[in-house]
Amino acid sequence: MSSDLSDLYQQVILDHNRRPRNRGKLPTANRSAHGDNPSCGDQCDVYIRLDGNKIDDISFDGSGCAISMASASLMTTQLKGRTAEEAARLYEQFHEIVTTGKEPEEISDLGAFAGVHAFPARIKCATLSWHAALNALSGDPAPATTESHTD
Amino acid sequence: MPSNWDRIRDEFPALHQQVNGHPLVYLDNAATTQKPRAVISALDRFYERDNSNVHRGLHALSMRATDAYEGARARVARFVNAAAPEEIIFTRGTTESINLVAASWGGANLAKGDAILLTEMEHHSNLVPWQLVAQRTGATLRFVPVTGDDGLLDLSPLDRLLTPEVKVFAFTHVSNTLGTINPVAELCARARRVGAVTVVDAAQSIGHMPVDVRAMGCDFLAFSGHKMAGVTGIGALYGRRALLESMPPWQAGGGMISNVDFLESRWKPPPERFEAGTPNFGDAVALGAACDFLDSLGRESIRRHDGALAQTAYERLAALPGIRLIGPRGERGGLVSFAFRDIHAHDVVTFADEDGIALRGGHHCNQPLMKKLGLTSTARASFYVYNEEREIDALVASMRRTLKFFGPAA
């Protein structure tokens, strides 16, 4: 297996794909958003219980490739307990990681997605759930779609 | 097989390359086929020697270009056994051909109370244009169901569906997702009995098997050049002459009018009526060369070759653990569609690419069918004249590696 491909399918990603965390509808959610990637049919719903400005709980559901499902799963573990502003900053870091391949300075599981940058067609897979989460937080009623973002 | 098959791979320059360190195994032919030298050089020759606008100039090059363009029309007419070249309208491809019928014939002939009959296995390009015309005219949509994973049309409710309200029955010859070959002649005959016009989507059959519009008994037939060894950007609509003559234009501009005044204009007869603006004559000439190339191989031979590879692939893949194959097990068009229980099609396709194998993964522009089958995506291997059985070996070996990688954690 080439190093590019083993970088893409890191153990962290395979683990989240096999055993997704926080998967399923969150009954207590007060925010939710749907995301879809029309070019490949991937779908992702994100459910958030927002307490004031804090993400009290978060879950996702959907269908897609290992990259998109692992990204959604990992995202939920990263966002729980954060504020909406922290979530937006974390997404910026994540976006930097998947588009440039630069590992983050602070140690984070998000670095597992650095290998995505070598597969430009898969960047949308990695960012789909994040777009849905940010839409849920901003209360944007429109479904997040990868087509409206430059990545 | 005829001798033209002997060195067939030499005719396709794009096949001879390495991808990710492996010889390319191109199995994405249902999306687009590779092009033979004969087609590429026909395109070169036209632009290097004859290029000029058609039907306009009185000079030598324009006359040559017009002859080449109209020659290609006659060649395509012969290829599908149309009664006359005037029954062939050049379009950008299958999608535009179907949109032409839906907009022009549909707009003029459909009204509230009418029904449009489709099948559940239609590509979006033979579904969405009908949805649009239904919204515009008030006609309703009906669907012939698909049986299930074996991917056949369930014809048992056809009498109930095909009532006199049905003004048009549009269906695919070969499913791009299932590989099913539909009984076109029977469906056309049934439609005729209630006076419905028939539209056949031949995108997946035109380059793979004999296609004879008069044997089928269809009214319209739509196809693309790039799926039959031709170049992109050109395709055709066959239409029965009497129907074409009764239809209004759908796009307007130069080349399609016989007389223009400030307030109104009169249209040329078909096919010009439906070819507004400068047509894509260069690619049409290359499409004519593609017809020659395929006929030199023999379309019955191509059907046997592609069908045999697809059946072999089906049987070999069926032996893999956790795999679900959709479409008929026996006779099928030249493609196989499959899904693994725990591995998404895009991961399958990414791993195959690593081995130099080009597959398609996704919903194949067939979302309603995929939903009905409870699938979000499949991987698809599709074959053409240059594919060989050893490439199925490579495909199966690659799938085994993928299964091992994603297999249950130790």
Quick: pLDDT tens for B358-375.
Answer: 999 988 889 999 999 999
CATH number of B40-296: 3.40.640.10
A148 assigned to some structural domain: no
Instruction: Give B19: exposed, middle or buried? Use CB within 10 Å, 0-12, 13-18, 19+.
Output: middle
Q: How many domains are contained in chain A?
A: 1
Q: How far apart are CA B224 and CA B62, in angstroms?
A: 26
Does the residue A53 lie in any domain? yes
pLDDT digits (tens, 9 = 90+) for A57-66: 999 999 999 9
Quick check: A41 and B343 CB within 8 A? Answer: no
The one-letter code for the residue type at B319 is A
Q: What is the pLDDT along chain B (410 residues), one digit of tens a residue?
A: 446 798 999 999 999 999 999 999 999 999 999 999 999 999 999 999 999 999 877 899 999 999 999 999 999 999 999 999 999 999 999 999 999 999 999 999 999 999 999 999 999 999 999 999 999 999 999 999 999 999 999 999 999 999 999 999 999 999 999 999 999 999 999 999 999 999 999 999 999 999 999 999 999 999 999 999 999 999 999 999 999 999 999 999 888 888 888 888 899 999 999 999 999 999 999 999 999 999 999 999 999 999 999 999 999 999 999 999 999 998 999 999 999 998 999 999 999 999 999 999 988 889 999 999 999 899 999 999 999 999 999 999 999 999 999 986 43
CA dihedral B397→B338→B232→B91, nearest 10 degrees, is: 160
Catalytic residues of B: 365
A116 domain residue, yes or no: yes
Distance from B152 to chain A by nearest Cα, in Å? 24
Between positions 15 and 54 of A, the ones with CB within 8 A of B are: 15, 18, 39-43
> B367 and A122: CB-CB below 8 Å?
no
| CA-to-CA separations, B326 to B55, B121, B180, B246, B330, in angstroms, rounded | 48, 12, 10, 41, 12
Find residue B143's DSSP bridge partners: B118
Helix (H, G, I), strand (E, B) or coil at B406: helix
A26 is a domain residue: yes
Is B40-296 in the same CATH topology as B3-31+298-406? no
Predicted local confidence at residue B392, as pLDDT = 98
- Nearest by CB to A40, which of B343, B346, B354? B346
Q: Where are the alpha helices (DSSP H) in B82-127?
A: 94-100, 107-109
Task: Tell me if A59 is assigned to some domain.
Answer: yes
ipTM of the complex: 0.85
Residues on chain B touching A40 (C-beta within 8 angstroms): 346, 361-363, 377
CA A39 vs CA A8, A15, A146, B224, B364: distances in Å? 20, 26, 9, 21, 10
List CB contacts (< 8 A) between A146 and chain B: none
Work out the burial of residue A8: count CB atoms within 10 Å of its CB; fewer than 13 is exposed, 13-18 middle, 19 or more buried. Answer: buried
Q: Is A146 within a domain?
A: no
Asked if CATH classification 3.40.50.720 holds for the domain at B3-31+298-406, the reply, yes or no, is: no
Of B337, B323, B319, B314, give the one whose Cα is nearest residue B406. B323
Query: Where do the domains of chain B lie?
Result: 3-31+298-406, 40-296
pLDDT digits (tens, 9 = 90+) for B212-264: 999 999 999 999 999 999 999 999 999 999 999 999 999 998 888 888 888 88
Nearest CA in chain A to B364: A40
Q: What residues of chain A lie within 8 A of the CB of B370, using their CB?
A: 41
Query: Residue A65's closest chain B neighbor by CA?
Result: B344
- At residue A114, the pLDDT reads 93
> Which residue in chain B is spatially nearest to A13 when comparing CA positions?
B406
* Among the partner residues A15, A41, A65, nearest to B347 by beta-carbon distance: A65
**Cβ–Cβ contact B124 with A under 8 A:** no
Which pTM does this prediction carry?
0.93
- Cβ contact (<8 Å) for A65 and B20? no
User: Residue B3: what pLDDT?
Assistant: 62
Q: Inspect the interface and report whether the beta carbons of B406 and A66 lie closer than 8 Å.
A: yes
Instruction: Give residue B1's pLDDT.
Output: 42
Range of the domain at A35: 3-140
How far does Cα B115 stand from its chain's mean position?
Answer: 24
The CATH number of the domain where A27 resides is what? 3.90.1010.10
According to the model, what pLDDT value does residue A141 have? 65
Q: Maximum Cα–Cα distance for chain B, whole Å?
A: 79
**Chain A residue with minimum CA distance to B355:** A1
Asked if residue A151 has pLDDT above 70, the reply is no
- Would you call B350 and A119 a contact, using CB atoms and an 8 Å cutoff? yes
C-alpha span between B283 and B272 (Å, rounded):
17
The answer to whether residue A150 is domain-embedded is: no
- Asked if the C-beta of B319 comes within 8 angstroms of chain A's C-beta atoms, the answer is no
